[in-house]
Amino acid sequence: MEVADGTIPLNGGADMAMSERNRAKGAARVQELLGGATPVHDYVVGHGHARLTTTAVVTLAVFGTAFLVALAFGQVLIPGVLVVWVGIRAVRPLLGVAVTHRGLAVVHVSMLNGRPSRVVVLLPPVPPWSDAATAPWTMALGPERVRFAKKEYARLTAAVAAVAPPAAQAAPINLR
């Protein structure tokens, strides 16, 4: 990824936003997961809270075993970028949030292909927050705590505001 001056950022494009093509493909996949009848108005991605998963345990066990075997033969084994990346993604998985007219759908994003793979929780169609979040924009969405980048959080709040039903007006109470 090149910046306007032709340089490549040192962070490897970590702040690079999701392309509109990938966002549309993710939204279409969420629509399939929801049965196809619920249109997805917008789709954003964030990181889930830290957890110990089977993938993380297996990755650590395989690398630990390989490290000990290499050490027994007088070699030191240093983990590669792929092992570190898998470990990080296993501990802090990507979660997608789709905004529909029925509410918010939190979905698990596959580590292999980056596509939504299963629905984690469906939430009601009201904004799940009452005040402005502060950096790093972490929100509790059902059983998950999802951390969003600033642009993803802004996109989510705009989509929820556009889709959320207007506040219910209090019906007059007739006391007789």
Phi then psi dihedrals of residue 48, to 5 deg: -75, 170
pLDDT tens per residue, range 124-150? 866 655 455 556 688 888 888 888 888
Burial class (CB in 10 A: 0-12, 13-18, 19+), 135: exposed
Mean pLDDT across 118-128: 79
% the chain with pLDDT above 70 = 76
